[in-house]
Amino acid sequence: WSEAALNFLGLSANKGTESLLASSREPIAPPKTKSKPRLDMASGFTPEEEISMKLSRINGAINKMTKEEIQEKLANIGLNTCGVKDVLKKRLKNYYKRQRTAQSNRALTEDDVLKFDYLVVIDYEATCSETNDNFVHEIIEFPAVLVDAQGNVLGDDFQRFCRPKLNPKLTPFCTDLTGITQSQVDNAQYFPEVLVEFENWMAKHKLGTQYKFAILTDGPWDMARFLKTQTEISDIPFPQWARQWINLRKAYTAFYGCGKVNLQHMLQDLGMTFQGRPHCGLDDARNIAAIAARLLKDGCIMRVNEFHRDVRPSAVNSRGGGRAEEGGGSSSSSSRMSSSKSRLTQKRPQTKEGQPTGSRSYHGESPDIPQEGENLEDLLQYLKLQRS
Ligand code: AMP
Ligand code: MG
């Protein structure tokens, strides 16, 4: 390794930052040769250990680089140069990490590969009022955007409006917020028919049959709240494909190593701006897809990181469920999360007498109350909401 490897990475044995900047050509990984790890007699380390040590040194050098130096290096390699310093650092470090994987003889592990061919990005819009007090949210826009595993956003989006059943008349606040008009929902189909159309769209793209896919949303609410409530209102089984998904915020914070984020933070940190109209479901989904695409291009190995626990079993496996990504993440009990999307209060459907409706869907503990062992932040947020 020593000299050749460092040259390959744009470093020399004695230099750090300057030589990183000096390399302007895309390095070409040498052909793989199958050989058993053996000790380098001179150093006493296996080739794998040597690579790890070199990578640590490279990471150390990157940590010392200025933002401009990192950008210059990224530009030389032909990588995207937008974003805040932490994002750029991660992009460059990950580039070298991938080079190492390509170089080493070790077989790829589970951690190195994506378990899906496509992401299906969904962002529901729902009926609402200004305060959302005792408001039961019904889905009124169902958009979906496809992203392939290489981080390309595909063009064939899905978008349907849905006709609300409980509150057929939209509040002026809801129309202002989402841009969805009364006539758009009046002329739309009810949710169950739209769901069938969505599943047909998935079938057209061979999702769940030929290709593996994972659902991706901005936060836990779309599947854990809006879809769950909607399936109860429509009295239909909760779709199999929606039982697990990727929460983009979690994937983003884990990958770039930052604190809590929302859509605006993520865009800002990546040097992107929101395209379109905020709270238009399709535009939201396209912007979320653009962020997810950026993560994939930066080398994030995304995993399902949210699961549903408390949903009615579906009678028949919906088309998408069969080959969707399975496992690989930790449950966050999203269905019980108390965090609100924007100012949602997420009340249960009530009858006139104030009893929860659809009681068979609500047996057991309240889905709003975080349970023992769950995220402490969720619990604190829940207590805060209870107090206010
Ligand atoms: P979003 O994906 O952020 O557009 O939000 C999804 C849904 O949450 C909206 O369609 C509304 O039903 C609800 N919502 C979002 N923001 C607000 C808000 N500020 N006030 C009331 N409801 C909201
Ligand atoms: Mg939205």
Given a contact cutoff of 8 angstroms between Cβ atoms, the answer to whether 85 and 258 are in contact is: no
Listed range (36-40, 163-167, 219-223, 358-362) with the worst mean pLDDT: 358-362
Residue of 344, 345, 346, 347 best suited for mutating to test ligand 1, as the one with most atoms within 8 Å of CB: 344
Q: Which pLDDT score is estimated for 112?
A: 81
Kindly identify the ligand whose nearest atom is closest to the C-alpha of 219. 1
Pairing label, strands 125-126, 139-148: antiparallel
Rounded CA separation 212/324 (Å): 5
Given a contact cutoff of 8 angstroms between Cβ atoms, the answer to whether 232 and 349 are in contact is: yes
Q: What is the mean pLDDT of residues 211-233?
A: 96
Catalytically annotated residues = 125, 279
Instruction: Say how many Å lie between the CA of residue 93 and the centre of ligand 1.
Output: 37
* pLDDT(81) > 60: yes
> In the chain, where does the domain assigned CATH 3.30.420.10 lie?
114-307
* pLDDT(26) > 60: no
* pLDDT(338) > 80: no
Fold (CATH) for 114-307 = Nucleotidyltransferase; domain 5 (3.30.420)
Closest residue to atom 17 of ligand 1, CA basis: 342
DSSP string covering 71-138, please? Answer: HHHHHHHT----S-HHHHHHHHHHHHHHHHHHHS-SPP-GGGS-S-SEEEEE--EE---SS-TTPPP-
Measure the N-to-C terminal CA separation of the chain; round to a whole number of Å: 62
Q: Which pLDDT score is estimated for 213?
A: 98
pLDDT band at 218 (very low <50, low <70, confident <90, very high): very high
Q: Which pLDDT score is estimated for 337?
A: 30
> In the chain, where does the domain assigned CATH 1.10.720.30 lie?
50-106
Q: Which pLDDT score is estimated for 386?
A: 37
Which ligand 1 atom sits closest to the C-alpha of 128? 12
Closest residue to atom 3 of ligand 1, CA basis: 279
Q: Which pLDDT score is estimated for 48?
A: 79
Kindly identify the ligand whose nearest atom is closest to the C-alpha of 226. 1
Residue of 125, 230, 339 best suited for mutating to test ligand 1, as the one with most atoms within 8 Å of CB: 125
Q: What is the mean pLDDT of residues 242-249?
A: 97
Listed range (96-110, 319-333, 357-371) with the worst mean pLDDT: 357-371
Q: Which pLDDT score is estimated for 147?
A: 98
- Beta bridge partners, 119, equal 147, 214
* pLDDT(107) > 80: no
- Nearest CA to 259 out of 247, 250, 267 is that of 250
Question: What is the greatest pairwise CA distance in the chain?
Answer: 82
> How do residues 152-166 score in pLDDT, each as one tens digit?
999 999 999 999 999
> How do residues 126-144 score in pLDDT, each as one tens digit?
999 999 988 999 999 999 9
Q: What is the mean pLDDT of residues 224-229?
A: 95
Q: What is the mean pLDDT of residues 41-54?
A: 79
Phi-psi domain of 364 (left: phi exceeds 0; alpha: psi -120 through 50; beta: other): left
The pocket around ligand 1, CB under 6 angstroms, is made up of 123, 125-126, 128, 132, 137, 177-178, 279, 284, 341-344
- Which pTM was predicted? 0.75
pLDDT band at 369 (very low <50, low <70, confident <90, very high): very low
Q: Which pLDDT score is estimated for 5?
A: 37
User: What is the average pLDDT score of the chain?
Assistant: 77
Q: Which pLDDT score is estimated for 293?
A: 98
pLDDT band at 46 (very low <50, low <70, confident <90, very high): confident
% the chain with pLDDT above 70: 69
Instruction: Say how many Å lie between the CA of residue 145 and the centre of ligand 1.
Output: 19
Amino acid (one-letter) located at 265? H
* pLDDT(214) > 70: yes
Give CB contacts under 8 A, 24+ apart, made by 17-24: 17/61, 17/64, 17/65, 17/69, 20/58, 20/61, 20/62, 20/65, 20/69, 20/73, 21/65, 21/69, 21/72, 21/73, 21/76, 23/73, 23/76, 23/77, 24/76
Listed range (27-36, 87-96, 361-370) with the worst mean pLDDT: 361-370
From the CA atom positions of the chain, what is the Rg in Å? 24
Q: What is the mean pLDDT of residues 216-242?
A: 96
Kindly identify the ligand whose nearest atom is closest to the C-alpha of 225. 1
Domain 50-106 belongs in CATH node 3.10.180.10: no
% the chain with pLDDT above 90: 59
Instruction: Say how many Å lie between the CA of residue 210 and the centre of ligand 2.
Output: 29
Given a contact cutoff of 8 angstroms between Cβ atoms, the answer to whether 143 and 236 are in contact is: no
* pLDDT(88) > 80: yes
* pLDDT(7) > 60: no
Q: Which pLDDT score is estimated for 52?
A: 85
Look up residue 344 and give its two tokens. 């949602």
Q: Which pLDDT score is estimated for 246?
A: 98
Instruction: Say how many Å lie between the CA of residue 125 and the centre of ligand 1.
Output: 7
Instruction: Say how many Å lie between the CA of residue 287 and the centre of ligand 2.
Output: 10
